[in-house]
Amino acid sequence: MARKAATPVDSTPRITLDRARAHWLRTQGLAAPLNGSLEEVVAATGWVRTLGGADVYLAVRARVPGLRRADLDAAADANQLQVIPAVRGCIYMVPRADVPLVLRVAEEAYRKRAEREHEKVGLEPKELADVAEAALATLRKGPLTTDALRKAMPAGVVRSLGEAGKKVGISSPLPPALRHLEFEGKVERRMEGGRLDTERYHWRATTRSPFTGAKVPAATEERNARLAAIFFRQFGPASVEDFAAWAAFSQRDAKAAVAKAGLVPVAVEDYAEVTYVPEDVLATLREKVPPATSVSLLPAHDLYVSSHGGPARVTDPEHHALQVPSWGASKGGPLGEAAHMFVRPVLDGEKVVGLWEFDPKADDVVFRTFAPLAPKRRKAVQALAEETAAFLRDDIGHARSFSLDNLDSVQRRADFVKSLSK
């Protein structure tokens, strides 16, 4: 049974925000590359959002220098890393060992919403089960896209849900049937063309369920606690609020999960009076570490930047007033208030010191820093920019951040970066 998290008291260890950032950088494999396979690196540094663009490759490549597109595609094709629904109902690339837990957590959140939607469109459980059975029988003959699967299934099995379905975003019973089969471990999704920079999938029947031999807690509270243990090992010291935002949990459920996960409190100056880490991390936080010498070009939604409430935690306060594009905000806002910047950050050591983007017109990466860098540091960023430009040009073939991104949008972000003073 997991031990209850210690209650914060006056004797709670205290560290500076600089020390916390140094720990985050090293845990994330950004101070120095971590040893191990791609599966092991992702397990240690955090699951990666797959938004249908180049950012999934950029996130892993920042932690695995020299990564080629084909390396990550091959790991996904071999099921070492698997693209599945995860926290917040979002699609993530997850290490195979975490798949059973993640599917159960995602399923619980999904079913609460889906039951309400199915009732609105008149989709009964029996019809859903019948469609799922027919879909699975068809997929056992070979993998298919959703559209091709619908056409290959017996006539009349999949009906249109009409206007009611359009209102809730469900065109027919087939997509929810596939989601149920995925949660049951009977089908799995593969990216069309074998590349991760798409949101178009092939579905195939599994030859071995991910739940075979897996020990996933039956109780919601136990699953949530296991999820908390993973998050705080990857991103601690972190607050309950950070965990709740990442997992889309209520504050009550997040607190309960933290309490059950056997975590211990740490106070981080200029961040939070109460954050949590696994108990065995405390000794590491007391160690002195040398200043980081690494430089990184991260994707816009990298969790190093967003997992602690946004870029403010990893950016000097003097730059917080800078107006930046923000995800979901048409006019953007101050960097210090953004939860998710919609522009790619430059890291010098632990801190965001500038922004970068691929410039389609120049066919090259452009970057600007908030303040002048020392000549050697600027030279290091310039070298990394040239290497990243070649990777996007020659290996990925584009610089789109997500599936609905386009060349004009990329150019506008590049122009915004160029508009900043050098």
Assigned token pair, 12:
């709670």
Model pLDDT, residue 2: 42
Burial (Cβ within 10 Å: 0-12, 13-18, ≥19) of residue 255: middle
pTM as predicted: 0.93
Report the C-alpha gap between 91 and 50 in whole angstroms: 6
Q: At what angle do helices 240-247 and 220-235 cross, to 10 degrees?
A: 110
Of the candidates 65, 58, 55, 57, which has an alpha carbon nearest to the alpha carbon of residue 31? 65
Model pLDDT, residue 421: 74
Report the C-alpha gap between 161 and 174 in whole angstroms: 10
The answer to whether 185 and 73 have CB atoms below 8 angstroms apart is no
Report the C-alpha gap between 269 and 264 in whole angstroms: 16
How long, in residues, is the chain? 422
Model pLDDT, residue 1: 39
Report the C-alpha gap between 27 and 25 in whole angstroms: 6
Model pLDDT, residue 387: 98
Report the C-alpha gap between 136 and 130 in whole angstroms: 10
Residues 6+ apart with CB under 8 A from 338: 310, 311, 312, 324, 326, 332
Model pLDDT, residue 349: 95
Report the C-alpha gap between 5 and 229 in whole angstroms: 11
The answer to whether 205 and 149 have CB atoms below 8 angstroms apart is no
Amino acid at 153: M
Long-range contact set of residues 64-69: C-beta below 8 Å, sequence gap at least 24: 64/29, 64/33, 64/38, 65/33, 67/38, 68/395, 69/195, 69/395, 69/396
**44 CB-side CA count, 13 A:** 19
- Strands, E, within 206-338: which ranges? 263-268, 272-278, 295-297, 323-326, 329-334
Report the C-alpha gap between 355 and 376 in whole angstroms: 18
Q: How many CB atoms lie within 10 A of CB 364?
A: 16
Assigned token pair, 284:
């590491």
Task: Please give the average pLDDT of every successive group of 10 residues along the chain, which has 422 residues.
Answer: 47 93 96 94 96 96 96 95 94 96 95 89 93 97 95 94 89 94 96 91 94 94 97 97 96 96 95 95 92 95 93 96 83 90 95 97 96 95 98 97 93 95 68
Q: Which helix (H) or strand (E) holds 211?
A: none
For residue 45, CA distances in Å to 51, 308, 323, 352 come to 18, 14, 29, 18
Report the C-alpha gap between 97 and 83 in whole angstroms: 13
The answer to whether 242 and 35 have CB atoms below 8 angstroms apart is no
Model pLDDT, residue 330: 64
The answer to whether 109 and 248 have CB atoms below 8 angstroms apart is yes
Amino acid at 199: E
Model pLDDT, residue 11: 79
Task: Give me the residue spans of the domains in the chain.
Answer: 14-28+218-286, 38-205, 295-419
Model pLDDT, residue 10: 61
Report the C-alpha gap between 359 and 320 in whole angstroms: 25
Residues 6+ apart with CB under 8 A from 174: 131, 135, 146, 149, 150, 153, 158
Burial (Cβ within 10 Å: 0-12, 13-18, ≥19) of residue 193: exposed
The answer to whether 231 and 87 have CB atoms below 8 angstroms apart is no
